[in-house]
């Protein structure tokens, strides 16, 4: 790298540092007060995977969100248990990182997931217990009522998981999980 390229790179870095400092220390109105909200829910719904009919799933979930002015970043873990109705046992653990928007009585979020699973899956010609990791995506809507100072509500959560790789011997495609249930949030009130 020549002298001219180094000077250009240093000038570019100087400009970047000035912009970052201005954004972090500059206009007070541009910075929103952030807070943390914790929530927990238990969803009851279905998990559809493979060529068999969708199966009943109980899906408890816990999440933590860092909130700004009308927006938030979220980390959520949802574990779906299959087999409560006598079918073969399976577990589908989905960890999601995402973002969302919120109002006084509503949260809407979406994110990308990593799913650890051990599920009984049937494909067109084979059945087997599939274990492994898979990528996915999740969307969730939380609606809160006036009960318990707006902390109690209903959560509707749907996610898709893309099965490929090790699962391809049995089946590959997209599985879908949807559930609904009560949600309780712990948030600081202004």
User: In 3D, which of 150, 173, 176, 155 has the Cα closest to residue 163?
Assistant: 173
Q: Quick one: 3 and 89 in the same domain?
A: no
Q: Between the CA of residue 66 and those of 8, 94, 109, 152, 189, what are the distances in Å?
A: 37, 19, 12, 19, 14
pLDDT of residue 127: 85
pLDDT of residue 36: 92
Q: Quick one: 22 and 43 in the same domain?
A: no
Q: Quick one: 61 and 139 in the same domain?
A: yes
pLDDT in tens, the chain (190 residues): 455 544 444 444 455 545 445 444 444 444 445 699 999 999 999 999 888 889 999 999 999 999 999 999 999 999 999 988 888 899 999 999 999 999 989 999 999 999 999 988 887 788 888 888 899 999 999 999 887 778 999 999 999 999 876 556 677 788 999 999 999 998 765 5
pLDDT of residue 139: 97
pLDDT of residue 148: 75
Q: Quick one: 142 and 50 in the same domain?
A: yes
Q: Quick one: 19 and 37 in the same domain?
A: no
Q: Could you give the number of structural domains in the chain?
A: 2
pLDDT of residue 32: 47
Q: Quick one: 25 and 36 in the same domain?
A: no
pLDDT of residue 28: 46
Q: What is the dihedral of CA 81, 84, 85, 91, to 10 degrees?
A: 20
Q: Quick one: 15 and 41 in the same domain?
A: no
Three-class SS state of 65: strand
Query: Which residues partner with 162 through β-bridges?
Result: 174
**Domain range for 67:** 32-186
Please tell me the pTM assigned to this model.
Answer: 0.76
Q: Quick one: 87 and 102 in the same domain?
A: yes
Q: Quick one: 42 and 100 in the same domain?
A: yes
Q: Quick one: 26 and 48 in the same domain?
A: no
pLDDT of residue 4: 53
CATH number, position 97? 2.40.160.20
Q: Quick one: 121 and 146 in the same domain?
A: yes
Q: Quick one: 61 and 20 in the same domain?
A: no
d(CA 103, CA 98): 17
């Amino acid at each position: 790298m020549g002298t001219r390229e180094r000077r250009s790179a240093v000038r570019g870095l100087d400009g970047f540092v000035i912009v970052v400092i201005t954004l972090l220390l500059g206009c007070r109105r541009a910075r929103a007060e952030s807070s943390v909200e914790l929530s927990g829910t238990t969803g009851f719904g279905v998990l559809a995977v493979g060529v068999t009919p969708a199966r009943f799933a109980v899906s408890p979930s816990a999440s933590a969100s860092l909130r700004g002015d009308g927006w938030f970043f979220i980390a959520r873990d949802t574990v779906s248990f299959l087999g409560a109705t006598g079918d073969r046992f399976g577990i589908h653990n989905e960890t999601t990182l995402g973002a969302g928007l919120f109002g006084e009585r509503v949260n809407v979020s979406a994110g990308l997931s990593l799913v650890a699973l051990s599920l009984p899956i049937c494909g067109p010609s084979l059945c087997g217990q599939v274990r492994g990791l898979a990528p996915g995506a999740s969307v969730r809507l939380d609606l809160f009522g006036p009960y318990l100072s707006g902390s109690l509500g209903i959560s509707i959560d749907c996610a898709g998981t893309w099965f490929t790789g090790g699962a391809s011997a049995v089946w590959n495609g997209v599985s879908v999980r949807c559930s609904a249930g009560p949600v309780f949030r712990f948030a600081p009130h202004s």
